[in-house]
Amino acid sequence: MPAKSPLITVSDLSALLEPGPPVPAVLDVRWSLGGPPGIEDYRAGHVPGAVFTDMNTDLAAPPGEGGRHPMPAVADFEASMRRLGVSDGRPVVVYDGAASTAAARAWWLLRYFGHTDVRVLDGGYRAWEQAGLPAEEGSGSAAGPGDFTARPGHLPLLDAGGAAALARSGVLLDARAGERYRGETEPVDPVAGHIPGAVSAPTTENVAEDGTFLPKKKLLARFKALGAGGASEVGAYCGSGVTAAHEVLALSLAGIPAALYAGSWSEWVTDPSRPVETS
């Protein structure tokens, strides 16, 4: 049997939400750098039964030396997912506004911590609305308690040293906008530039105008042109480990396994001894 795709269409999700097991846990992960808070979009309208998932508290530890969105502690992530209704034997669907940039963070964390059935709604809530499917407004009802057990280590993870080494020996993709990679601007972090040897690969080029992922052949061609897809190991980073998860998801769709540097640039620049490249 072919492996299940990490993506799900709005029509397939709508069918899964019909009465009868197993109805998936649906997580609304709408978030954008600099706001406004995604909870406002959630209250204005969301997929029926979806529960709001906070990027800063459910999907990350408090900011610090580990970056702006450090990996959550095992016990904290497990508690958050249980509160949101996630169980080991229950499918999970995650979505955000459209391009799956934030939803991919939830997908990656759940997969890393051992959940085996997690899919991303391709095109996000925009696709759901455009399909004319029903929506709920307001704060939603409390999710039933889940029994998810977090077991870390199911996807490859890089620390700063591993990312530096991979940039020399393999392919390290920088998922941020090109101008941030080149050091022309840095709207969030205190230092501009990129990890020496990294390759610019903005996540915006993984999706079509409507926010859905490009077909596998186009993704594969894109990553091969960037040096990935051969024998070399591949990794990805971004500003704080959010859009890099989107890059890892796109690489997965292309059939290319990749590691995530979760601390990313916001962790890298906390140590002034780490080199910075601009070009």
**Cβ neighbours for 145, distance < 8 A, ≥ 6 positions apart:** 82, 83, 85
pLDDT at position 140 over 90: no
Share of the chain above pLDDT 70, in %: 99
User: What's the rounded Cα separation, in Å, for the pair 106 and 5?
Assistant: 16
Task: Reduce the DSSP state of residue 259 to 3 states and report it.
Answer: strand
Tokens read off for 79: 């508690």
pLDDT value for 53: 97
* CB-count exposure of residue 20 (10 Å: 0-12, 13-18, 19+): exposed
pTM score above 0.95: yes
pLDDT value for 22: 81
pLDDT value for 146: 96
pLDDT at position 35 over 80: no
pLDDT at position 1 over 50: no
* CB-count exposure of residue 56 (10 Å: 0-12, 13-18, 19+): middle
pLDDT value for 62: 96
* Cβ(59)–Cβ(72) below 8 Å: yes
- 238 is a catalytic site residue: yes
Determine the straight-line distance between the first and last CA of the chain, rounded to whole angstroms: 46
Rounded average pLDDT over 252-270: 98
- Report the C-alpha dihedral over residues 151, 60, 124, 180, rounded to 10 degrees: -120
Of residues 4 and 172, more confidence is placed in: 172
In one letter, which amino acid is 82? R
Model pLDDT for residues 64-109, shown as the tens digit of each residue: 999 999 999 999 999 999 999 999 999 999 999 999 999 999 999 9
Task: Reduce the DSSP state of residue 200 to 3 states and report it.
Answer: strand
**Cβ neighbours for 120, distance < 8 A, ≥ 6 positions apart:** 6, 7, 8, 93, 94, 95, 100, 103, 104, 107, 249
Tokens read off for 1: 């049997």
Q: With bands split at pLDDT 50, 70 and 90, how would you rate the model's confidence at 3? A: low
pLDDT at position 177 over 70: yes
Q: With bands split at pLDDT 50, 70 and 90, how would you rate the model's confidence at 142? A: confident
Active-site residue (options: 238, 253, 258, 259) = 238
pLDDT value for 87: 97
